[in-house]
Chain A
Amino acid sequence: MNLVRFVILRLGFVLVTVLIGTFFVLPLLWLLTAPFNAQATLRVEWPSPFTLRNFGDVFRNTFAIRALFLNSIIQAGGTMLGTAVIATLAAYALSRLEIRGRNVLVYLLVLFSSVVTGTAAMVPIFLLLYYLRLIDTHLGVILVLTGGLLPTGIFLMRDFVESIPRSYEESALVSGATPWQTFRDVVLPVLRPGMMVVAVWAFVNAWGNFLIPAILIRSPEKMPAPVAIYSFYTEGGTPVLTLISAYSLLYAIPVVVLYLFVNWRYGFRFFGGIKGGGK
C-alpha cells in the first residue's frame, strides 16, 4: 500500500516536472533549430539541409554586425560601467555614513524606479533628452538606462558592502592609511565580486532592452541589435526567417554565457534581495 502510494507520488512528481520543463523549453526550440536551417520556416524541425550560411549572411550584413558588435556593446557596456561604478560608490557611502533611515531610503528608491518605468517614464525622458540634445546618441541611451538601473544596483551592492567588517577599514586607518588608500587597497578589492555581479546584471538588462533604444535612437548607424533586427524584412514586409533566427541566436548568446558564468561562479540566486520580508 505504502509502496503503491510512493510510486504514484513519484510518477506524479516526474510527470509534473516534465510538463513544466517542457513548457519552458518548447518556445525556445525554434531559436536553436531555425538558424541552422537553409530553408527556415516558423516550424521547429531538424535543420535540413543543415547549414551555417545564415550566420555567414548575418556577418556579411555590415549594418547588422555594427549594431551587434559595436552599438549594443557600447550601450550595454557603458551602462554596465556606469551602473557598477556609481552604485558601488553610493552603496559604500550609504553604508558607512551615519544617515538615519538609509535602509528605508534605498527601499524607496528601488520602488520609485519601478514606478517611473516603461513607456510611462519614456514620455518625459524623451522630451528631457530632446531638450538636452541627447536624442540619437549612445550617451543618451546609456544615461537613461543607468538612471533606471541605479537604485536596484545600489540595493544589490549594499549587501556586499555591508558584509565587509568595519574592522577592515579601521585597521587600515590605524595602520596609517588615508581614507582614499583604505578605499583603494582594502574596500575595492573585497568588493570586486559584488561589482562583478552588479555589472553582469546591468549588462544583461541593458543588452536586452528594446524600448529605450527604440525610442531614443533614430539613425541606423547607431542602432543596437534589438532595433536593427527589424531591418531583416523583405521589401514586401515579410520577415527573412533565416537571418532573423540566426541573428537572434547570436544576440542571445552573451546573455546565456553570462548566466552560465554567474551561475558557475557565484550561484544564481537572490543576493539578499529577500531580506525585506526575510528575517
Chain B
Amino acid sequence: MNSESRENGYIVLQGLTKHFGLVVAVDRVDLNIAQGEFFALLGPSGCGKTTTLRLIAGLERPTAGRIFIGGRDVTDLVPRERDVAMVFQDYALYPHMTLLENIGYPLKVRGVPRKKLVARVREVAEHLKIADLLDRRPSQVSGGQQQRAAVARALVHEPKVFLFDEPLSNLDAKLRLEARAFLKHLQREVGVTTVYVTHDQAEAMAMADRIAVMFAGRIAQVGSPLDVYREPMTVEVAAFLGNPPMNLIPGRLEGGEFVGPGFRIPLSSTSPSGEAFLGIRPEHLRLAERGETGAIPGRLYAVQPLGPEVLVTAQVGEVTVSVRLFTEELPHLGDEVWLLVDPSRVHLFDSGGKRIR
C-alpha cells in the first residue's frame, strides 16, 4: 500500500476512516478506482457510502487515512482545490438563480469572463438538451430537467472527477430508467472518472464498471457487477443484490449434503460439517411435483403475476423463499408446493456469513 498501488488507481483511498463522535461511519476503507472508470458505491442507508463520497469531495475531513486524486494527495485540501464536481441527491440548484447562472456558477467563481461563461454554458446545455431553458429558474422546469441542469453544472468546468450522490432517487420510476441510460452514455462520452453512490442495486449493476458493496462502514466486496452478482462473498452481499434478493435458508452441512427443513441436497464438493446457509437466486428455482427427490417442501404464501414472469413466494421452515417463473400463465397451486434447485447454482455460506462455495 504505497506508491505502487497509487499509480494504478486514479482515485486511491488508503485506510480511510471517519468517526462521528462514537459512531464509525467509514472504517479503514481501501479502494483503487481506475482513470475513466464508472465506479459505484452500493449499500443500504447508513452504510457509509455517502460519507465516503463526501470525504472524496472534501466536504468531510477523514479521522484517519489518505485520499489521492490523480497521484496528488488531496487529504488536506478544501473542496475548491480538488477539482471535482458533485451532483447532489436534491440537485442543490439555487432557487434564486436561473439555470444559466446555476450551471455557470463553477465558472463564475473561477473568474471566467462572462462572455466565455455564457458560451460554455450554452455548449454544455445544448449537449444535454436544456439550452432553451437557460433563462428559467429551477422551480420552473421539470424534475428531469432539474437533474440535467445539475449534471450540466458538474460538467461545465471539466473536472477531473464526477461524484454522484443518489442523483436519480428524486425521479419517478420511468424517468429514472431514462436518466440511467443518459448518465451512462454521458460518462462513456466524456470519460471522466466517476464515483456513484446508490442504494439501488439495479442502478449500480446497470451503470457501473465496478461496484463496491458497503456494510457498516466497511467494504464487503469489490468487483464487476456480474462477478459480485454471481459470486457474493458474504451473506449480506448475497441478500442485497438481485430483485427479489437471494433466498437464504438456514440448515446444516452433513457428509456432503445440505440438510434444510424437510429436505436434503447433495453437494458435489465435500465441505466441513456445521451450521450453514443455503443461498439460491429466485430464478434458479422451479416448481416440482410432490415427492420429487431433492425437492424443498413449502407452504404457499403468495402468487404475484408481474407480466413477463410470475413471482411465487412460499414458506420454508422459518423463512420465505421467492421463485421467479418465466411464464405469463398463472400456475395452479395447492396449499403445499415443492421447489427444485439446480445443485450447481447453489451458494453456501458458513454460520459467520462467509462464502464456502
A and B in direct contact, judged by CB atoms within 8 A = yes
Contact (Cβ within 8 A) A165 B110 = no
Answer yes or no: A127 CB below 8 A from chain B CBs.
Answer: no
Answer yes or no: B119 CB below 8 A from chain A CBs.
Answer: no
Contact (Cβ within 8 A) B92 A168 = yes
Contact (Cβ within 8 A) A171 B110 = no
CA distance A167 to B54 in the complex (A): 11
Answer yes or no: B85 CB below 8 A from chain A CBs.
Answer: yes
Known interface pairs A177-B80, A186-B94, A189-B94; A170-B106 also in contact (CB < 8 Å): no
Contact (Cβ within 8 A) B86 A176 = no
* Residues in B neighbouring A172, C-beta threshold 8 A: 105, 109
Q: Which residue of A lies closest to B104 (CB)?
A: A175
The secondary-structure label for the interface of chain A is helix
A171 contact from B80, B86, B95, B157, Cβ within 8 A: B86
- B87-110 with Cβ < 8 A to chain A: 88-92, 94-97, 105-106, 108-110
Least distance between B313 CB and chain A CB atoms (Å): 38
Contact (Cβ within 8 A) B105 A174 = no
CA distance A176 to B94 in the complex (A): 15
CA distance A172 to B105 in the complex (A): 8
CA distance A67 to B56 in the complex (A): 60
CA distance A173 to B105 in the complex (A): 11
Answer yes or no: B323 CB below 8 A from chain A CBs.
Answer: no
The secondary-structure label for the interface of chain B is loop
CA distance A165 to B119 in the complex (A): 30
Total residue contacts A-B, CB cutoff 8 A = 65
* Residues in A neighbouring B95, C-beta threshold 8 A: 190
- B147-195 with Cβ < 8 A to chain A: 153, 157, 163
Answer yes or no: B79 CB below 8 A from chain A CBs.
Answer: yes
Contact (Cβ within 8 A) A168 B109 = no
Answer yes or no: A178 CB below 8 A from chain B CBs.
Answer: yes
Answer yes or no: B78 CB below 8 A from chain A CBs.
Answer: yes
CA distance A190 to B97 in the complex (A): 10
Q: Which residue of A lies closest to B150 (CB)?
A: A171
A147-176 Cβ-contact flags toward B at 8 Å (1 or 0): 000000000000000000101101111111
CA distance A229 to B150 in the complex (A): 58
Answer yes or no: B306 CB below 8 A from chain A CBs.
Answer: no
B61-90 Cβ-contact flags toward A at 8 Å (1 or 0): 000000000000000001110001110111
A175 contact from B85, B89, B90, B91, Cβ within 8 A: B85
Contact (Cβ within 8 A) B109 A181 = yes
Q: Which residue of A lies closest to B96 (CB)?
A: A189
CA distance A189 to B137 in the complex (A): 14
Answer yes or no: B48 CB below 8 A from chain A CBs.
Answer: no
* Residues in B neighbouring A177, C-beta threshold 8 A: 80, 105, 109
Q: Which residues in A have some Cβ–Cβ distance to B below 8 Å?
A: 165, 167-168, 170-178, 181, 185-186, 189-190, 192
Q: List 19 A-B contacts (CB under 8 A).
A: A165-B90, A167-B88, A168-B94, A170-B54, A170-B92, A172-B109, A173-B59, A174-B57, A174-B86, A174-B163, A175-B106, A175-B153, A176-B79, A176-B106, A176-B157, A185-B105, A189-B96, A189-B97, A192-B96
